[in-house]
Structure 1
Amino acid sequence: MSRHRIRTAAAGAIILILALLGSATPASAGTLDVTCTPPSSVAVTYDPPLTASPQTVTSTTNQQYGPCVSASVPGLTSGSRFTVVTSSGLSCLELLAARPFGFTITWNTGQTSTISGNLVANLSGGVLTVTVTGTVTSGLFAGDTVVQQQVGAATDLTLCTLGQGTVSSHYGLVTLEITSV
């Protein structure tokens, strides 16, 4: 099967999974301050590519949020996050480890939201689902709760965890909800 057909099939599977997951979003007692839905996405590259053996790796993350809708900040329509991090002892197995996770979103309004939370990853059937739950610790929406979910095809990650390949990058569609408490 060609790479194009594999990617097309994977994209279709991702859209189906997101549709199914969309109905599984937990209800909250607060007010939804902002929601961002696909085509919101994240692309991460690894240099050198990840293997099953730990090594020093530079990860570059480019995350785009949008379209976003906010009842409390009507002009907020999109956001982004760009980071470059060098980590020692990184392997494809570490991508699946639960861990504390923080990041900052820069909104199209020029404001920022710094988020602190926990990351849980699940690899099943060649699909990687990464969920971050936490709170906005500073900036716009400070004190609000956050749920961000990323879903993407990860056949190369599956092979890497079995010691049969490498991971040079991955891509996922993102859903973000920030809710007042």
Structure 2
Amino acid sequence: MPMSATVRPPHSRLRLPAVVLLALLTAMAAMLMPVPAAYAASSTTCTGSSHATYNPGLTLTPQNVAADEIDTFSFCTSTDPTLTSGSFSLTGGTIPGAACNDVIAGPGGPLTVTWNNGQTSTAALTYVLTVTGGILQTVGTGTITAGELTGASAAFVWAFVLVNPLQCLAPGGLTTHDGTIAAQITSP
């Protein structure tokens, strides 16, 4: 009894693997396409300077002192290419019982950074102060609650060298103090 055989054209054996290969290539192309800006993770890192003024000047004797501060981010890198620098100021705060090199700060609260691109970011932060190795460091961590980068986590770090107590004995006390500031803002 003769056996019959079904002969298939050679190209039909390639049909299934070709379909699978096409699906894989399509999936890989989708992964390589840029993510729309509304869904892209954003990140901003900044460094700069902090300038604080005190009235009356800080002395070795605790007293209520009005403090103003101007912070300038002179260099920023960001996933938003228009954001390259920024600044903010904290004015009118009173520090009760302030003295030279005393780590007690005035009330914290939100701060609003004005960026060079005309946008703003308001941060709600919780502050922790430490003194280590002659450096007074304040770390503020929280969230951007309004403006550019809303919803991102934020960390701001201020660092000031402890002052020479002799500066606090000068007439009028210590009226200005300069330090550095850095910020890291990252959205999920």
C-alpha deviation, 1:146, in angstroms:
0.5
Unpaired segments ≥5 residues, structure 1: 1-29
Residue 76 of structure 2 is aligned to residue 68 of structure 1: yes
Instruction: Name the residue aligned to 1:118.
Output: 126
Residue 63 of structure 2 is aligned to residue 54 of structure 1: yes
Unpaired segments ≥5 residues, structure 2: 1-39
Q: In the aligned structure 2, how far is the partner of 1:102 from the partner of 1:116?
A: 4
Instruction: Name the residue aligned to 1:35.
Output: 45
C-alpha deviation, 1:54, in angstroms:
2.8
Which stretch has the larger CA shift, 166-175 or 129-138?
166-175
Instruction: Name the residue aligned to 1:12.
Output: none
1:101–1:132 Cα contact (<8 Å) kept: no
Alignment of 1:114-153 (within 5 A): 114-153=122-161
Structure 1: 4+ residue segments shifted above 6 A: none
Write the deviation string for residues 30-58 of structure 1: whole angstroms up to 9, x where unpaired: 94521112xx0111010111244232x22
Instruction: Name the residue aligned to 1:26.
Output: none
Q: TM-score, normalised by structure 1?
A: 0.68
Residue 173 of structure 2 is aligned to residue 173 of structure 1: no
Q: In the aligned structure 1, how far is the partner of 2:130 from the partner of 2:93?
A: 23
Q: In the aligned structure 1, how far is the partner of 2:153 from the partner of 2:140?
A: 11
Change (3 A) 1:155 1:126: farther
C-alpha deviation, 1:62, in angstroms:
1.1
C-alpha deviation, 1:101, in angstroms:
3.0
Tell me the secondary structure at the aligned position of residue 66 of structure 1: strand
Alignment of 1:151-170 (within 5 A): 151-156=159-164, 159=165, 166-170=173-177
> Between the two proteins, what is the percent identity of the paired residues?
30
Q: In the aligned structure 2, how far is the partner of 1:86 from the partner of 1:121?
A: 17
AA at the equivalent of 2:111: F
Counting matched residue pairs gives 144
Tell me the secondary structure at the aligned position of residue 96 of structure 1: coil
Instruction: Name the residue aligned to 1:82.
Output: 89
Structure having the higher Rg: 2
Change (3 A) 1:48 1:155: same
C-alpha deviation, 1:97, in angstroms:
5.2
Residue 101 of structure 2 is aligned to residue 101 of structure 1: no
What is the root-mean-square deviation in Å for CA atoms of aligned residues? Answer: 2.7
AA at the equivalent of 1:139: G
Q: TM-score, normalised by structure 2?
A: 0.66
C-alpha deviation, 1:100, in angstroms:
4.0
C-alpha deviation, 1:121, in angstroms:
1.2
Tell me the secondary structure at the aligned position of residue 149 of structure 2: coil
**Larger relative CO (CA 8 A, sep 6+): 1 or 2?**
1
